[in-house]
């Protein structure tokens, strides 16, 4: 199964109020394993960058001034994401900005039935805990020491690891293959087959019979200076 884990950086919190997308990072997963294929782009938002937003992601107006417009990269982005499910943390936020930009380019929006929200998954699994990306990376032992500022591609890569942990961890890679695969065949060949036509034997008695007890008493009576008598005398 192919999935796309993605993150965005923006000029603010609301596309309806004029905020724009300035960065997107996408990571491809196949069966919850990173393939190494990514899509990453910065965009010129054609507007100013509020200082509060720049403090979060570090992207200045000067840096973004020579970057392509979203419309210039939209076809490449759509080709990469294709029709795969899309995973994001607080996904409604990222979907709202992505779909706003697609609308400005007269492209079809990404339907929310493709949306997988890791924030919702985390809240379900860890009610009452902190659910930020930083807090969840700490909980699951994901190294984020290189994360100083928010960055769409870096955050998508961290999120892809977190998503795997939230949905079963690395054990999902240990699932058995299909019956046609070689590993299962080898497992089947190594199994011990127990015959089903063995005769059924009655249970063996575990207590001594009267005859056995008599023979034992006779044997003990013939012993001279047995060890347990010596021990008893020494005590």
Residue 134: per-residue pLDDT: 93
Q: Would you state the pLDDT for residue 92?
A: 97
Give the per-residue pLDDT at 76: 98
Kindly state whether residue 211 falls inside one of the protein's structural domains. no
Catalytic residue selected from 57, 150, 206, 216 = 150
Distance CA 216, CA 207 (A): 13
pLDDT digits (tens, 9 = 90+) for 28-62: 999 999 999 999 999 999 999 999 999 999 999 99
92 lies in a domain?
yes
Rounded to an integer, what distance in angstroms lies between the CA atom of residue 139 and that of residue 162?
10
Residue 118, in any domain of the structure:
yes
pLDDT score of 179: 37
Q: Are strands 21-30 and 33-42 parallel, antiparallel or unpaired?
A: antiparallel
Any catalytic annotation for residue 216? Answer: no
Looking at residue 230, what is its pLDDT?
A: 61
Residue 217: the pLDDT is 80
Q: Can you give the residue range of the structural domain that contains 72? A: 2-178
| 198 φ, ψ (degrees, to nearest 5) | -70, 145
List of the chain residues with pLDDT < 70: 148, 170-206, 228-235
Q: Considering the domain boundaries, does residue 233 fall inside one? A: no
Q: Report helix, strand or coil for 27.
A: strand
Query: Could you tell me if residue 231 is inside a domain?
Result: no
pLDDT score, position 180 = 36
Q: Is 150 inside a domain boundary?
A: yes
Q: What is the CATH number of the domain that holds 159?
A: 3.30.420.10
CA atoms 6, 8, 14, 16: torsion sign: negative
**Per the structure, how many domains does the chain have?**
1
Q: Is 184 a member of any domain?
A: no
Characterize 43-73 residue by residue with b for buried, 16 or more Cβ atoms within 10 angstroms of its Cβ, and e for exposed. Answer: bbbeeebeeebbeebebeeeebeebeebeeb
| Residue 165: per-residue pLDDT | 96
Does residue 201 form part of some domain? no
């Amino acid at each position: 199964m192919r999935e796309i884990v993605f993150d965005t950086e923006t000029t603010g919190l609301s596309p309806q109020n004029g905020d724009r997308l300035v960065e997107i990072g996408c990571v491809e997963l196949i069966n919850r394993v990173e393939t190494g294929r990514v899509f990453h782009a910065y965009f010129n938002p054609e507007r100013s960058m509020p200082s509060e937003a720049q403090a979060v992601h570090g992207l200045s107006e000067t840096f973004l001034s020579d970057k392509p417009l979203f419309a210039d990269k939209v076809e490449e982005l759509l080709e990469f994401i294709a029709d795969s499910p899309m995973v994001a943390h607080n996904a409604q936020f990222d979907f709202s900005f992505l779909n706003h930009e697609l609308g400005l380019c007269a492209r079809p929006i990404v339907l929310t039935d493709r949306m997988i929200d890791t924030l919702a998954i985390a809240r379900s699994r860890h009610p009452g805990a902190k659910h930020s990306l930083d807090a969840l990376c700490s909980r699951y032992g994901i190294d984020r020491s290189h994360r100083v500022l928010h960055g769409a591609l870096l955050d998508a890569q961290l999120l892809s690891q977190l998503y795997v942990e939230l949905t079963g961890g690395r054990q999902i890679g240990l699932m058995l293959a299909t019956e046609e695969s070689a590993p299962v065949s080898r497992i089947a060949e190594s199994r011990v087959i127990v015959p089903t036509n063995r005769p059924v034997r009655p249970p063996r008695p575990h207590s001594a019979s009267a005859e056995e007890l008599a023979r034992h008493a006779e044997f003990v009576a013939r012993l001279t200076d047995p060890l347990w008598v010596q021990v008893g005398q020494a005590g």
